Structure 1
Amino acid sequence: MAKNSETKPDRLLSVHSLEGLSPQEIESVNRAGRPSAALIHETIRAEGESELRRPVSALLASGFAAGLSMGLSLLTEGLLHEQLPDASWRDLVTSFGYSFGFLIVILGRQQLFTENTLTPILPLLHHPNLKTLRQVLTLWMLVLAANIAATWVFALGLAEAPAFNSSERIAFLEVSRHALENDFEATFIKAGFAGWLIALMVWLLPSAGAARPLVIILVTYVVGIAGLAHIIVGSVEAAYLVVMKDATFGAYVFDFFLPTLLGNVLGGVLLVAVLNHGQIARELKEED
């Protein structure tokens, strides 16, 4: 890691070849420049290495907290849906509620499965061996299980809580129904785009600085307004439909869970992790 830190200035901007600049001016140019793809890659990879070393109990606790937090997306969307008039622009506003759970999870550093289609994959691509693969698969299974369990707990609580009136419960149902409105193929494709966007968001965050909340809101708003399939937010919605007897558990598994999980993983891993790793793999190999 010391070697990486020593080469960080060169990854920001190649200014050492410019004539007439003092060391102080070179450092100033580096600080003012945008982070390079290699620096972003290494920042995320370092985070991934750290996540792969976390204890099981920490992953489960953080994953469960993230699943509960993602339920706030349905809660916020539903309340906005119930309060706003039935107009053509209503979905444009209610979709901002979709971003709320993501803000809590990402800024709160909780474990979300779709973030992990990028973060721990970069260490695996850097160290393609069975040990790292086992670590990644273990992380995925633990985080996914904790996320999904929490979404069912949240859905059950939302259905049973006396704090919400009948019109609000109907709004939650109306917001949730899109999770099961498509067939396997359509859901898989929508999930692929969602996985791609969420992993791209993770790629953007290291260089976003104070704009991190805005990046999260903008990217997840697109996921929400486009009706794309996200395995955790959608699980809250589909589970709520099952709890309210508006759908069957079989529909949850075969019409939502399986195609969404496959699509999110494909979109996140292949379209972002592999391609973004590929663009700087030669540079990293030369530095090693």
Structure 2
Amino acid sequence: MNGRSDPHDSSEAPDPEAAGPLTPNEKEEVEQHAHLRPLAIYEVVRQEGAEELARPAPSLWWSGVVAGLSIGLSIATEGTLHTLLPEAPWRLLVESFGYTVGFLIVILARQQLFTEVTLTAVLPVLAKPSRGGFRALLRNWGVVLAANLLGTALFAAILWIPGLLPRFLVDGALGVSRHMAELSPMQAFGRAILSGWMMALLVWLLPLAEAARIWVIVLVAYLIALFELPHVISGAVEVFLLLFHGEMTAGTALAGFLLPLLTGNVIGGSALFAMAAYGQVREEMAQG
């Protein structure tokens, strides 16, 4: 009533320009973070996907083979912890950390992993559908998947060679592989949908993670292992290992595991997450 403004009056909105004693560089960083809304995250992932679609097939192939070998370290490390740790209720909580190793290497080294491609490569095609884009997507998927599978088969063969690696490592890898083989085809398919969704979620989180990228990768990969959600590429290491040891037939490996895992991962990563990611920014893209 006396004309003076009440400092506690909540009706006055804070001044967004009142940045305080920040340097110009700090203000620029704040501005960049403030505008990293879903559309910006989508654009980062879409541009990565467009770059992947334009890469030559030999580059995709060799990167995919190396990724298949690298992801084998997840099974080897998880298996080693499984063998060396005592049988206790907490063993799964610890051994699941071993599963994160291969994913850390693959993602930080920017190697081609099929379940990452199911999200990144599909976003440019959703944004601008065309026959050429669809053909590029199928080429990318086909080359990366075949290369990943070859890499996983090579890693499983290394584990299979008698006397090459320590017995506890091979026994541990076989142990976790046999546990995966207990799943029925429908269980493998259903769980693979969830793991595909979580891998796509990881790709979506990485542009925001910055210095925390390592911890985001560890968290998501750890949860996939802890929840026993099979992944088609790491699962391929387990399938090939059992196949080489004569504990699984080729028909069971293909129809009972690889195809259900592949289909589930694609549905979780592309049909669900990619469509949802595109849907939440479609109107904003149209307005822009």
| TM-score, normalised with respect to structure 2 | 0.89
State the shift of 1:27 in Å: 4.7
The verdict on how the C-alpha distance between 1:164 and 1:131 changes in structure 2, with shifts beyond 3 A counting, is same
Task: Name which of 17, 23, 33 aligns with 1:21.
Answer: 17
Work out the number of aligned pairs and report it.
271
Partner of 2:173: 172
Partner of 2:248: 247
Partner of 2:10: none
Matched, 1:235 2:231: no
The verdict on how the C-alpha distance between 1:171 and 1:125 changes in structure 2, with shifts beyond 3 A counting, is same
| Aligned counterparts of 2:89 and 2:30: Cα–Cα separation in 1 | 49
SS at match of 1:104: helix
| Aligned counterparts of 1:79 and 1:173: Cα–Cα separation in 2 | 10
Partner of 1:191: 192
State the shift of 1:135 in Å: 0.4
Asked whether the 8 Å contact 1:179–1:256 carries over to 2, the reply is no
SS at match of 1:118: helix
Please tell me the residue identity of whatever aligns with 2:247.
D
State the shift of 1:32 in Å: 4.7
Which structure 1 residue ranges, 5 or more long, are not aligned? 1-17
Partner of 1:33: 34
Asked whether the 8 Å contact 1:191–1:260 carries over to 2, the reply is yes
Asked whether the 8 Å contact 1:178–1:227 carries over to 2, the reply is no
1:58-77 alignment to 2 at 5 Å?
58-77=59-78
Please tell me the residue identity of whatever aligns with 1:135.
A
State the shift of 1:46 in Å: 0.7
State the shift of 1:285 in Å: 1.4
| TM-score, normalised with respect to structure 1 | 0.89
SS at match of 1:87: coil
State the shift of 1:42 in Å: 0.3
Please tell me the residue identity of whatever aligns with 1:218.
L
Asked whether the 8 Å contact 1:180–1:252 carries over to 2, the reply is no
| Aligned counterparts of 1:34 and 1:137: Cα–Cα separation in 2 | 33
| Aligned counterparts of 2:218 and 2:132: Cα–Cα separation in 1 | 36
**More divergent stretch after superposition (67-76 vs 23-32):** 23-32
| Aligned counterparts of 1:86 and 1:102: Cα–Cα separation in 2 | 26
Please tell me the residue identity of whatever aligns with 2:59.
A
RMSD: 2.0
The verdict on how the C-alpha distance between 1:271 and 1:227 changes in structure 2, with shifts beyond 3 A counting, is same
**Residue by residue, what CA displacement relative to the aligned partner does 1:118-155 show, whole Å, maximum 9, x if unpaired?**
10111011111111010001000000000001111110
Please tell me the residue identity of whatever aligns with 2:92.
D
**Residue by residue, what CA displacement relative to the aligned partner does 1:1-38 show, whole Å, maximum 9, x if unpaired?**
xxxxxxxxxxxxxxxxx978399798564235362100
Partner of 2:155: 154
1:263-282 alignment to 2 at 5 Å?
263-282=264-283
**Residue by residue, what CA displacement relative to the aligned partner does 1:65-105 show, whole Å, maximum 9, x if unpaired?**
00000000011011111211111211111110111000000
Q: Percent identity?
A: 44
Which structure 2 residue ranges, 5 or more long, are not aligned? 1-13
| Aligned counterparts of 2:35 and 2:101: Cα–Cα separation in 1 | 28
SS at match of 1:110: coil
